[in-house]
Structure 1
């Protein structure tokens, strides 16, 4: 009985530091921001309750807010499906029984653990007007845009950069694929299933 009680309390002791950090740095600021959003807060004059006026102004008079919502939807709609499809496709390729595949798995995952500063500098070199991507497009007679400064192409440039970390998602898909028993693939082959049907049904 004592051992069970000690195990219970020891578990709580391990959880308490995380709870303190969560309340102090996440939940507390979130609640404070929610409360302040219903007030007209000024540093010297204090605050006064104004209800939903801030939210009405935000959605009716603030063009930058509406633009930021559109940019978020645009980025999410392109990034999430794109990263999932690319990660799954690469995981399928790396799940084949071919010599040397561990090297390619490492190569695809390595960018996910690369330092952010190094990654940013690399993408600046790739996407600048005279960078590697525009030089590659120039080989086909295509004049590359200004990926980092154009109002039209800056978002596609960010979406391209976001695929840099698809190695993490790829590893998750690959772990799931490698957990599928081999006899399921063999049974599907006997039933006449092709590669596409194996991917969909197995």
Structure 2
């Protein structure tokens, strides 16, 4: 049985493309059934439309309150009956309605080895701290910022001549590969959240 993925994007959708490419292989065990965004005109939406995948947009500013946006986004997602929701560069913090509707089934990827360097500038903070290993973390979303149970992590060495840009780009490459591998395992083998630990298989 093929699992359903709903992917949320805000920008170019490079992680989305990696997932779409993986899903082209029937053995991967999943398919992208819809792509949602928080703004119109993104390349991520264009990628989905070019592939014939349904899309939807819910802008925060189109709703009187953040809670009503959360409810509208949750309703759009629910229409596609996802087994897993993947934040692939979705630059909005989702609210309690979505988290309660899909406990343990909404994942996000971050460009640091959490719990170190949460927030918007993981690679820059890693460089400033002088660490020798940076990396990427795939985690299950909770009500905090980059605080949920960790699904997978990969380390990326920090080179002496790295800039924020070069380190960020190398992390992105590792992040995409990790996302594809972990989502495939979750969909084929299942997963369980046990407190702070996520067990695959």
TM-score calculated relative to the size of structure 2? 0.21
Task: Determine which structure has more spread, i.e. the larger CA radius of gyration.
Answer: 1
TM-score calculated relative to the size of structure 1? 0.21
